Amino acid sequence: MFLMNASYILTKDKILIDSAIVFDEHIKAIGKKDELLKKFPNIKEIHLEDGSILMPGLINSHVHLEFSENSTELKYGSFMPWLYSVIEKRDELSEKCGSNCMKKVLERMLLSGTTTVGAISSWGFDLKPCAESNMKVIYFNEVIGSNPAAVDALWKHFLDRLEMSKKLASKTFTPAVAIHSPYAVHPVLVKKAVSIVKEQKLQLSTHFLESQAERDWLDNSDGEFVPFFKNFLNLNKAHTTAKEFLENIKDTRSLVVHAGHASKDELETIKDSGHTVVHCPVSNRLLGNDRLDIDNLDYLCATDGLSSNTSLNLFDELKSALFIHHEKDLHKLAKDLIDSATSRAATALNLNRGQIKEGFESDIIVLNTNRGTIAPEDLHLQILLQKFEVSHTFINGEKI
């Protein structure tokens, strides 16, 4: 068991000044150092630099690892040219980023303050690096495929990957399910995936209305997706609508990713169904998609993958969101963004972490400011504006 005193402690509701926590695998107590030393005599102290900020580890709820060697290979600015470039470069990028590459990517995320990641796996190539990572991983095995003739084969491939991930389940590695999107997954597969999620009590994630092309295809079987589906799958008509898709997942709490082209009614349906929207602002900007309207929305902020971002440092993403949503009050938005990557993310994923609170798992990071006093009312903002060093990381109370 350890005691750690910090200049600032970020709890969900307030900032504690010159206070301490006692923790092992879980947080045992929070208070003033002298009082805690009386309750816990002979406890081992961890000494921090003056000005240190103690806060929950970040939860990056939506990341793709499989194209992490991308830098200049893919086309940005519009969704469909990007998608075609992904198809063209898929084999090349997969070969360039093997297990060692993915391991290094996970390590970099850990060093930058992320302690839990929601990894979306299309093919299972990232299974071993994720299962062996020091980071906690929610491993979303993805169902994909809209060709009716291939439904059985695609389902078997998904089940095989899911079973492999379940064999590696541990305290830090949790198998889960992802449905790629309404346009890319046949309704038969959607229903089968939802059934598995319910039966096995798994987490569910899905992309939803990321682009105008998807909106046009689902609404009217029209738009930029028409030649795509005709050429690749010989399909002339969408198999479902956005409304039908939401109906199919309505009884399963899900992470609904992007949703920048969702209507107000659809966002209300998502909220009423207990789903949570995941916002990836840099990815949306690079692919020419609409900015999510975060008004009255309990969203999460995540990075997406390096196929549509330049950094998996979640602090970088939060800072980008701070500027992208320029009409919001700066200080309130800064706190809301940090909540979206800590306490709200934990709630959406049904995790007992994401807060500095007694009884919660000790997934903790310490930021070293290397400076004097920061006004408490500016602390959330300064965390996003400054690139503070992550000096300590603890997962389940163990120093990483």
* 210 is annotated as an active-site residue: yes
| Sign, Cα dihedral of 142, 145, 150, 152 | positive
Beta partners for 364? 56, 394
Of the residues 210, 214, 266, 361, only one is catalytic, namely 210
The length of the chain is: 400
Read off the tokens for 156. Answer: 């078997």
Q: Give the burial class of 369: count Cβ atoms within 10 A of its Cβ; 0-12 exposed, 13-18 middle, 19 or more buried.
A: buried
Look-up: residue for tokens 């295809």? 217
d(CA 23, CA 147) in angstroms, rounded, equals: 52
d(CA 191, CA 348) in angstroms, rounded, equals: 22
Q: E strands within 136-279?
A: 136-143, 173-179, 204-208, 254-258, 276-279
Look-up: residue for tokens 């949570």? 276
Pairing assessment for the beta strands 114-121 and 58-63 based on DSSP bridges: parallel
Radius of gyration of the chain (CA): 21
d(CA 106, CA 308) in angstroms, rounded, equals: 17
How far is C-alpha 72 from the geometric centre of its chain's CA atoms? 24
> Any residues with CB less than 8 A from the CB of 155 and at least 6 apart, and which?
143, 189, 192
From 32, 5, 53, 46, select the one nearest 374 (Cα to Cα): 53
Q: Is 194 helix (H, G, I), strand (E, B) or coil?
A: helix
From 372, 396, 387, 367, select the one nearest 48 (Cα to Cα): 367
Give catalytic residue positions: 210
